[in-house]
Each structure stands twice: as structure tokens, then as C-alpha cells.
Amino acid sequence: MITLKSKQEIELMKQAGQLVAACHREIAKLMQPGITTFEIEDLVDTMITKHGGKPHTKGYNGYKYATCASVNDVIAHGFPSRTPLREGDIVTIDIVAELDGWLGDSAWCYAVGSVSDEARRLMEVTKQCLDLGIAQAFAGNRLGDIAHAVQSHAERNGYSVVRDLLAHGIGRDMHEEPNYAHVGLPGRGVRLKEGMVFTIEPMLNAGTHHMYIEADGWTARTADGRLSAQYEHTIAITEDGPLVLTDQAVAP
């Protein structure tokens, strides 16, 4: 069942989303060769707590950390590590913050120093897919319109879209209805209504869309060992169009 949020509830979710956005702004300042994803983990954990929030993933289904840190061929759910990041790595940091019982969720892919043209292009196209998906997030459209915008742009540029990890509704719980993959046909799927809040989070692989989960039960890697990138925002459907609750450009 999809739970529609009131304008007041969306405003509370925006506050949680802006806490996540503030974390990403700080991470961007620190991202350079030699830093560890565990240092980023400590930063995010401290920052969320300092502002009266809770790192929602910490303890979620046994997960131990405030962040997911996914490097190079890791698609999602990578554990923070004490291994220094190297020049040319790309890393996706995924953060979910809880504030006053409401959640904000956003992942961002970062270049570590100077990266290859292949890596840079993958990042650029993945971010474009996010923006194109958001551009379809209007009341009256369908989830298939978002999915098709992502899939068509990705495949037009030679990339594959991960099918096995889903975007999701969000509110007081991290995973609410609807759940959906970023592949589909326009005009199909759940119709978007004012008050819906969900993530748009395309994960693009340089090679095959197939993946596997490591023995830790969390870390998702590309099946062929090639690069993966992800960008994610929490968005609300409003009468004025899509509202990006985790927008990093909003003034702190």
C-alpha cells in the first residue's frame, strides 16, 4: 500500500533530506586519494548525530554502519573500509538519515582525484539518468515513464541498468511501496499522485547488468568486474512538480 504524505510531512522529510545533503557537501570537500571510507563513515555518523538525527542504516537488518561505501565494481551496499582510496577510484556513498521519525535517502558517486575518461563518462551519464528520471516525476505520469527515461538514456550511451536492486517509497520506513526497477515502458506501472515520496536511484554498469552478492550478504558487485556508478535522490510528488528533498544545492 502506498502512503501519501501531507505537505507538512513532506516538509519534515525535507529536513531529514537536507541533513543527508549536508553530509554529502562535506564529503565532497574531503574526497581525495588517501582518505578511507571509514573516515567518511565517522564523519557522517558524527554529523547526523550532532544535528539530532539517527543514521538509519546502523543496525538495519544487522547492517553495522551509517553509510554504504561502494568502490569501483561494487554496485551498492559496500562496507566502509580502512583501506585508503587511490587516485582514479570512483566511490558511491549512500546515506539514510532519520530526523524526528522521518527519513531522507541519497547516494552520490565521487571521483577520487583524476579518473579515467571511461569512469568520468559513466558518472556523467548516470547523473544525467537521475535528472531525466526526476523530470518525469509529475502527478499523472507513471513509474514506467521514470524507468524508461533512465533505461533509454543509459542504453543509448552503451551502459546497462541494474535490475536486481530497486528504488523504493520512503517515509517513516526506509522501504515502503512502491518498489520498482529503473527499466520499463512509458505509460506503464503505478500512476504518480501528489503526496507520493520515493527514491530515484539509477545504478549503471559499464558492462553487464548482472551482479552477485558477496559472502558478507551485503556487498553487490558487477558480475564482470567492470565499473558501476549510482546517484540517488529522495523526491516528493507535489502540485508544482517533483520536489527534490535531498537537493545539495539548497542553501544550508
**Spatial distance between the Cα atoms of 7 and 133, rounded to a whole number of angstroms:** 22
Q: Is 77 annotated as a binding residue?
A: yes
**CA distance linking residue 75 with residue 211, whole number of Å:** 8
Query: Which residue carries 530526523 as its cell?
Result: 99
194 labelled ligand-binding: no
Is 209 flagged in the annotation as binding? no
Q: 128-131 long-range CB contacts below 8 Å, 24 or more apart?
A: 128/153, 129/153, 129/154, 129/161, 129/182, 129/202, 129/204, 129/231, 130/200, 130/201, 130/202, 130/231, 130/232, 130/233
Q: Are 146 and 136 in contact (CB under 8 A)?
A: yes
Place of cell 574531503: 30
Q: Which of 238, 150, 148 is nearest to 193 (CA)?
A: 238
94 is in an annotated binding site: yes
Residue closest to 186 by CA, chosen among 217, 151, 216, 147: 147
For the chain, the C-alpha Rg in angstroms (whole number) is: 17
Question: How many helices and strands (H and E) does the chain possess?
Answer: 4, 15
Please indicate if the annotation marks 201 as binding a ligand. Answer: yes
232 assigned ligand-binding residue: yes
Give whole-number Cα distances, 200 to 6, 89, 96, 103, 240, in Å: 20, 24, 14, 15, 18
233 assigned to a ligand binding site: no
Distance in angstroms (rounded) separating the CA atoms of residues 135 and 95: 23
Binding residues: 77, 94, 105, 168, 175, 201, 232
Binding residues for substrate: 77, 175
Binding residues for a divalent metal cation: 94, 105, 168, 201, 232
